[in-house]
Amino acid sequence: MLRLHGAAYEAGFDGVELHGAHGYLLHQFISTFTNHRTDKWGGSFENRIRLVRTILKKIKSLLPSSFMTGVRLSPEDKLSFKGIDFDESLELAKILADDGADFIHVSPWDVFKKPDKYADGEKTIIEYFRERVPAEVPVMTAGKIWSRTDAEKILSLGSDFAVIGKAAIGIPDWPSKAKDENFIPQMPPYTINHLRDADLGNAFIKYMGGWKGFVVEE
């Protein structure tokens, strides 16, 4: 992993993101559902977050400070991705920021939802993270941002960036189109021809066919 980050730097990238969400390896270490280790890499919260912290600090020590390294986190359980406590996620975000993360990327699947743990409260997930992470460290979020209005709303809730995912797949020039106040995005499902016109390969289109309501036959 460290070798790949070095390669990204040498290739001219401005930074990288450690993927600690959505069931990937770092997420599996953080989760009590998937991490059953009994050594220093499992068990307690401190042990379960040790791997992502170790990698982050090593990258920051080896590469110039101008090379950004952020971390993406799942804030709570979602679908089959279990074993994530919301309060632990908040604490982890702060710890990673203190460890030198250049940004924290919160991935709740729906940027406007409240945390399940505090569903009766007033604050959205991103508001909790913005309050916990030091002000000098940017916080960003992704999930169901389709329109310019969506992006503006999430910025008003404290996110420093609005991260565009699925909307940018079907509308690759979303950022430039969203400059128009009258921009109305085309919503899924998308036809296969539409996705091909967006320069997506057949393998990726086939993969997206597994996303409910995203791809439709001609």
Residues annotated as part of the active site: 24
Task: Specify whether the CB–CB gap between 52 and 104 falls below 8 A.
Answer: no
Q: Which two tokens stand for residue 177?
A: 């189109």
d(CA 55, CA 2): 7
Give me the residues paired with residue 20 across strands: 73
What torsion, rounded to 10 degrees, do the Cα atoms 31, 32, 33, 35 define?
Answer: 80
d(CA 53, CA 55): 6
Q: How many CB atoms lie within 10 A of CB 36?
A: 8
E strand or H helix at 110: none
E strand or H helix at 7: helix 2-10
